[in-house]
Amino acid sequence: MLTRETTLNIALAATLLAVPLLALAMDEIFIITLATKVAILALAGVGLNIALGIGGLVSLGHAAFFGIGGYAMGILAAHAQNYEPIMEVPFLIEGTNQMPIIWLIAIVASALAALVIGALSLRTSGVYFIMITLAFGQMLYYFAISWSAYGGEDGQSIWVRNEFPGLNTLDPIQFFLIAYVILCLVLVFSARLARSPFGLALAAARQTEERVMTVGLTPFHLRLVAFVISGAITGLAGALYADLNRFVSPTMLSWHTSGEIMVFVIIGGVGRLFGPLVGAAVFILLEHILGGFSEYWQIFLGLLLLLMVLFARGGLIGAIVGREVAHD
Amino acid sequence: MSILLILEQVLNGLQFGVMLFLMAAGLTLVFGVMGLINLAHGALYMVGAFAAAAVAGLTGSFLLALVASLAAAAAAGAIVEVAVIRRLYDRDHLDQVLATFALILIFSEGTRWIFGSFPLFLDVPDYLSGPVSLPGGIEYPLYRLTIIAIGLVVAAALFWLIARTRIGIQIRAGEADREMIAALGVDISKLYTLVFALGAALAGLAGALVGAIQSVQVGMGEPVLILAFVVIVIGGIGSIKGALVGAVLVGLTDTLGKVFLPQFFGLFLEPASATSVGASLASMLIYILMALVLLVRPSGLYGGST
Amino acid sequence: MKAIKTLALATAVSALAMAAQADTKIGMITTLSGGGAGLGVDVRDGFMLAIEKAGRDDIEVVIEDDQRKPETAVQLADQMIQSEKVDIMTGIIWSNLAMAVVPAATAQGVFYLSPNAGPSALAGKRCHENYFNVAWQNDNLHEAAGAYASAEGFKNTFILAPNYPAGKDALTGYKRMYKGDLAGEIYTKLGQTDYAAEIAQIRASGADSVFFFLPGGMGISFLKQYADSGVDLPVVGPAFSFDQGILQAVGAAALGVKNTSQWNKDLDNAANAEFVAGFQEKYGRLPSLYASQGYDTANLILSALEKADVSDKDAFRAALEAAEFASVRGEFKFGPNHHPIQNIYVREVIKEGEVFTNKIIATGLEMRGDAYAAECKM
């Protein structure tokens, strides 16, 4: 029998697919773009949720990985379009406009960054961890602003979206489907990860470190692996987001971005598989609807967020399905 | 570069550090006593600056403006504490981060709604404006010296408050053992409101003092907030002494870094790229400092356990 | 959602009659919330003043807030082009947002008229036949500052700007026209608020003058601290730090400072007099540089619509190129890359009664185009 949460998750996945298809039928192209944005930002949240929800690692620096993924796209695509190799000595590296290769490089680059940042940051815990991840994010942010080779604060535009074999990525619905399929695959991966021995050990380490150490596992290593996986997924989302906008800029690295990704996860429900999707969808809908009401819409956004933290503990999914949850 | 110029830059770093201390003190106090991580501290800094600018505009008195900044920030702090913050003490840091992030949005856009989108005017009063000559021939703005003095006085007062007064004993007891202090019959929710308002007032004072030589505008609190976090993390969260040391360290690192790094790179790079590379590295320097400190001492210079 | 949008628009531009079937749809993406909102509000208000004055009910303006985020601006542009099917776009304040939006918009056949940002790439290699800049190329005001510094006989200037592309362009623009030596060249951190260290360096450098480009709050902070430091070298800067909106926040610290601008409220022509009076009457404040640019942008569009229908792209483009409208700047025409050729004036900050404002004291550059036109191949 399906739990209520699983039923809800299936319904959510179906809705995210149905909305843009419906929009296509009604010729409301922009709705498709919004749905694509939801899918990609949800992907970033799913990445963060592995560190945050399962591992209990409150990272306020995930914008770093989001941005690295974005810049991986920007740099590769810009070189490909200008027919300039990225480097010629000691060996030739050329740019590319093939999405699969870009994704792979975005994943590897952000995983490496997460390995370094994680190895350093995980020596601390609690508020110190929040702050040191924030600090690493800020370092990269200021670096990107002054990195004039790729536009500095202006950012790097690529004039056409990158290519995916057999698809026309400039067609909004096809690009949406790419993002949607990736989101679904990563959700499946994330669900299996949570139930795997690794995921269980990681969750156990969040609750009682001693329990994990007595069976011979090192919490530090568990967390580091989780942090790297988390960073890699967020990096992949960054590459897709940059492709959605055909543009990457330091804004992707700012601490506001970290805050927003975290907001998605919390609105939806920390540790809930589909939490980031609900969170991203609600956030973007609010931004879009409230933005139409008033110049000062962020006041209302703030109030809603506040009410949600105070009165809807466990996030929206928690509020809908109750506390039947299995993760703990 | 002359010794005098270096001394002047050290003084600049010190002044910057003292200003950061006013921000960091409240932040670290609130964290130490209530275990709360407050992203909205920068919003209280902004409230102080706007209150000061509004009162200075109406009355023309800088002293009244400072009083207003203290009062307005303390009042805003107390209201926020009673309405929102006290529901967050037993939550995890995550909920605190989100709720106070929401407060930033409300405060920033609310201020813009009331005061409009353009920066406000707040100026150094005549009796504090202009430079004075220091021994050795340094011309230094009197107002910056005043900020250093006020900051040091506040630091001394805080140390006295915590070490010698009844409230200080309660604060220290609260840091050590929350149940115990309630059992002793202290009205803990009142104490918390008081501590939060005190922290807010210090942030408001910093906002007003700095507002006179900077720009009083929406969002002015955020860059300072992040610096203040860096300060308390370096100093060790909860420690006033750590906040003071951390603030001065960050102030000096930032100021001296941006002066000397471009010159250092100028030794082996052409001037244009040296200034650019030096400036880039200088803007990352305090975060590098923070990462280094945490690698050596994972809970800061004067921090206990987290 | 559509209904909400329309409602919001109706409140935003209350006096504008909403036509059921507008013939021309203009999309405005500008910054209306957050830190830089003052500039976007001014561009919008100036623009809408001109539209309302024209009294045409066949023009619809859709206004959206980009929150100064380039990613948001790109998405709004997609929305305007794909869903709203706008014919003309305008409104962006910041160069980095313009670089993100303009190439994609013009590539999709939409006209884009920039009321503020003029990044060098869009004037040179990336110029486009459907892109018009109604403000200035980014370097222009800095070039005029350099020319003025040379004309004043400054021989050893200290220059500083934030460490980001527009900052580097500013110093490049200044140096292009400035003939003397440099006492120092500093890039500051973007968003920096304390300039004590830089001011100490200026004092120690032996400079005879200072040029700075520090937009927004950075400039306010710098000027107040500079005035308080006792260093009294002459200061020159572009108009951005001396504009009507922020001048009151700088206060007496700005008095006497020379700054360069293509417009000022005391420019003596009929269009300007009408604009300044109309703006004050409608909004109850003095217009800013940004408001004047928004106003000119709208009037340029209106002048072109008089001559051609926007659906006839070639005719409409030719009508824009002719630029036959009464600019509040006086003489105004487009260069081959669709960027302005215009006078850049030198202004001095003065106090009129209780209000700080500017008056023109000289012409910095006469009918100046830009340095990138040769790179543009349309």
Condensed to tens digits (0 to 9), the pLDDT of residues C206-224 reads 999 999 999 878 888 899 8
Contact at CB, B214 and C224, closer than 8 angstroms: yes
Say how many Å lie between the first and final Cα of chain B, rounded. 43
Contact at CB, C164 and A153, closer than 8 angstroms: yes
Q: Return d(Cα B292, Cα C95) in angstroms, integer.
A: 36
Give the number of other Cβ atoms within 10 Å of residue A175's Cβ: 25
Chain B residue numbers with beta carbons less than 8 Å from the beta carbon of C354 are: none
Strand partners, C61: C26
Q: Return d(Cα C121, Cα C138) in angstroms, integer.
A: 10
pLDDT, position C22: 58
Flag the least confident range among A289-298, A309-318, C7-16, C137-146. C7-16
In 3-state terms, what secondary structure has residue C188? strand
Which of the four pLDDT bands, split at 50, 70 and 90, describes residue C168? confident
Interface with B, mutate which of A52, A128, A143 (most B CBs under 10 A): A128
Contact at CB, B97 and A131, closer than 8 angstroms: no
Tokens 């109750």 sit on residue = A322
Mean pLDDT score across all residues of chain C: 89
Decide if B292 is inside a domain: no
Nearest to C242 by CA among C229, C253, C228: C253
List b or e across A73-88, with b for residues whose CB sees 16 or more CB atoms inside 10 angstroms: bbbbbbbbeeeeeeee
Q: Which pLDDT tens digit goes with each residue over B144-163? A: 999 999 999 999 999 999 88
The total of structural domains in chain B comes to: 1
Q: Return d(Cα C74, Cα C345) in angstroms, integer.
A: 34
Give the number of other Cβ atoms within 10 Å of residue B90's Cβ: 9
In 3-state terms, what secondary structure has residue C133? strand
Mean pLDDT score across all residues of chain B: 88
Asked if ipTM goes beyond 0.90, one says: no
Look up residue C318 and give its amino acid: A
Q: Are C260 and C134 in contact (CB under 8 A)?
A: no
Query: Given B84, B101, B283, which is nearest A142 (Cβ)?
Result: B283
Flag the least confident range among A100-109, C40-49, C163-172. C163-172
Q: Which pLDDT tens digit goes with each residue over B46-66? A: 999 999 999 998 998 999 999
R_g over Cα of chain B? 20
In 3-state terms, what secondary structure has residue C132? strand
Q: Return d(Cα B81, Cα A235) in angstroms, integer.
A: 37
Assigned token pair, C102: 């303009």
Cα angle C317, C319, C324 (rounded to 5 degrees) comes to 140
Interface with C, mutate which of B213, B254, B273, B276 (most C CBs under 10 A): B213
Residue window 250-279, chain C: list those with CB within 8 Å of chain B: 250-253
Q: Return d(Cα B230, Cα B17) in angstroms, integer.
A: 12
Out of A20-29, A199-208, C240-249, C281-290, the most confident range is: C281-290
CA-based nearest distance A254→chain B, Å: 12
Helices C196-205 and C217-229, interaxial angle, to 10°? 50
Contact at CB, C228 and B130, closer than 8 angstroms: yes
Q: Are A50 and A227 in contact (CB under 8 A)?
A: no
Decide if B49 is inside a domain: yes
Contact at CB, C164 and A245, closer than 8 angstroms: no
Which of the four pLDDT bands, split at 50, 70 and 90, describes residue B199? very high
CA dihedral sign, ordered A138, A142, A143, A147: positive
Which of the four pLDDT bands, split at 50, 70 and 90, describes residue B277? confident
Q: Please classify residue B296 by burial: count the beta carbons closer than 10 Å to its beta carbon, then call 0-12 exposed, 13-18 middle and 19+ buried.
A: exposed
Residue window 219-248, chain C: list those with CB within 8 Å of chain B: 220-221, 224-225, 228-230, 245-246, 248
Assigned token pair, A84: 């300039």
Residue window 253-292, chain A: list those with CB within 8 Å of chain B: 255, 259, 262-263, 266, 270
pLDDT, position B304: 67
Decide if B280 is inside a domain: no
Going by DSSP bridges, is the β-strand pair C156-162/C181-188 parallel, antiparallel, or unpaired? Answer: parallel
Q: Alpha carbon of C52 to those of A203, C7, C17, C302: distances in Å? A: 62, 18, 9, 11
Nearest to C370 by CA among C336, C345, C347: C336
Mean pLDDT of the B38-48 span? 94
Does domain A4-321 match CATH 1.10.287? no
- Kindly write down the DSSP assignment for every residue of C292-331, as one continuous string: HHHHHHHHHHHHHHHHS-TTSHHHHHHHHHHT-S--TTSS
Chain B residue numbers with beta carbons less than 8 Å from the beta carbon of A254 are: none
Decide if B263 is inside a domain: no
In 3-state terms, what secondary structure has residue C125? coil
How many pairs of residues across B and C have Cβ atoms under 8 Å apart? 127
Length of chain B: 306
Q: Return d(Cα B67, Cα B208) in angstroms, integer.
A: 9
Assigned token pair, C120: 């060098």
Residue window 143-182, chain A: list those with CB within 8 Å of chain B: 143, 145-148
**From its phi and psi, is residue C67 left (phi > 0), alpha (psi between -120 and 50) or beta?**
left
Decide if B261 is inside a domain: no
In 3-state terms, what secondary structure has residue C370? coil
Mean pLDDT of the B205-224 span? 89
Residue window 192-211, chain B: list those with CB within 8 Å of chain C: 210
How do the pLDDT tens digits run along chain A, 328 residues long?
578 888 888 999 999 999 999 988 888 888 898 999 999 999 999 999 999 999 999 999 999 999 999 999 999 998 887 778 877 777 777 888 899 999 999 999 999 999 999 998 998 888 889 888 988 999 999 899 888 788 888 888 887 788 899 888 888 899 999 999 999 999 999 999 999 999 999 999 888 888 788 877 888 999 999 999 999 999 999 999 999 988 898 999 998 899 999 989 988 888 899 999 999 999 988 888 887 777 788 888 889 889 888 887 778 888 888 755 444 4
CA-based nearest distance B286→chain A, Å: 9
Q: Are A102 and A72 in contact (CB under 8 A)?
A: yes
Decide if B265 is inside a domain: no
Assigned token pair, C123: 């004037």
Look up residue A50 and give its amino acid: I
Assigned token pair, B194: 């008081």
Q: Name C246's Cβ contacts closer than 8 Å, sequence gap at least 6.
A: B118, B119, B215, C38, C216, C219, C220
Q: Alpha carbon of C357 to those of A268, C223, C296, C352: distances in Å? A: 51, 15, 21, 7
Q: Please classify residue A215 by burial: count the beta carbons closer than 10 Å to its beta carbon, then call 0-12 exposed, 13-18 middle and 19+ buried.
A: exposed
Flag the least confident range among A252-256, B168-172, B217-221, B291-295. B168-172
Residue B185 confidence (pLDDT) above 80: no
Partner chains of C (3+ C-beta pairs under 8 Å): A, B
Decide if B202 is inside a domain: yes
Decide if B256 is inside a domain: no
pLDDT, position C17: 40
Nearest to A59 by CA among A121, A112, A15: A121
Q: Name C291's Cβ contacts closer than 8 Å, sequence gap at least 6.
A: C42, C43, C45, C46, C49, C279
Which of the four pLDDT bands, split at 50, 70 and 90, describes residue B184? confident
Among all residues of chain C, which has the CA nearest to that of A155? C96
Mean pLDDT of the B117-139 span? 84
Contact at CB, B214 and C217, closer than 8 angstroms: yes
Q: Return d(Cα A5, Cα A7) in angstroms, integer.
A: 5
Where along chain A do its domains lie?
4-321
Strand partners, C186: C160
pLDDT, position A108: 97
In 3-state terms, what secondary structure has residue C64? strand
Q: Return d(Cα B144, Cα C229) in angstroms, integer.
A: 9
CB-based contact, B273 to chain A, within 8 Å: no
Helical (H) or strand (E) element with B229: helix B221-235
Flag the least confident range among A139-148, A196-205, B249-258, B267-276. B267-276
Chain A residue numbers with beta carbons less than 8 Å from the beta carbon of C187 are: 146
- Kindly write down the DSSP assignment for every residue of A10-68, as one continuous string: HHHHHHHHHHHHHHHHTT-HHHHHHHHHHHHHHHHHHHHHIIIIIT----S-THHHHHH
pLDDT, position C99: 87
CA dihedral sign, ordered A6, A65, A97, A23: positive
Q: Which pLDDT tens digit goes with each residue over C319-376? A: 999 999 999 999 999 999 999 999 999 999 999 988 899 999 999 999 999 999 999 9
Q: What is the pTM of this model?
A: 0.84
Query: Given C32, C70, C187, which is nearest A155 (Cβ)?
Result: C70
Domain that holds residue B135: 9-219
CB-based contact, B293 to chain A, within 8 Å: no
Query: Given B93, B110, B291, which is nearest A136 (Cβ)?
Result: B291
Contact at CB, C164 and A289, closer than 8 angstroms: no
CA-based nearest distance C211→chain B, Å: 16
Contact at CB, C165 and A292, closer than 8 angstroms: no
Strand partners, C368: C342
Q: For B73, which DSSP code?
A: H
Q: Are A301 and A290 in contact (CB under 8 A)?
A: yes
CB-based contact, B113 to chain C, within 8 Å: no
Q: Return d(Cα B126, Cα B89) in angstroms, integer.
A: 44
CB-based contact, B3 to chain A, within 8 Å: no
Q: Return d(Cα C370, Cα C378) in angstroms, integer.
A: 16
Contact at CB, B295 and A123, closer than 8 angstroms: yes
Mean pLDDT of the B227-256 span? 92
Nearest to C262 by CA among C89, C137, C96: C137
Q: Return d(Cα C103, Cα C95) in angstroms, integer.
A: 12
R_g over Cα of chain A? 20
CA-based nearest distance C72→chain A, Å: 9
Q: Return d(Cα A135, Cα B294) in angstroms, integer.
A: 11
Among all residues of chain B, which has the CA nearest to that of A296? B109
pLDDT, position B188: 81
Q: Name B137's Cβ contacts closer than 8 Å, sequence gap at least 6.
A: B4
Q: Return d(Cα B201, Cα B194) in angstroms, integer.
A: 10
Which of the four pLDDT bands, split at 50, 70 and 90, describes residue C12? very low
Contact at CB, C100 and A159, closer than 8 angstroms: no
Contact at CB, A302 and B93, closer than 8 angstroms: no
Contact at CB, C187 and B12, closer than 8 angstroms: no
Helices B240-266 and B221-235, interaxial angle, to 10°? 110
Residue B273 confidence (pLDDT) above 90: no
Residue C78 confidence (pLDDT) above 50: yes
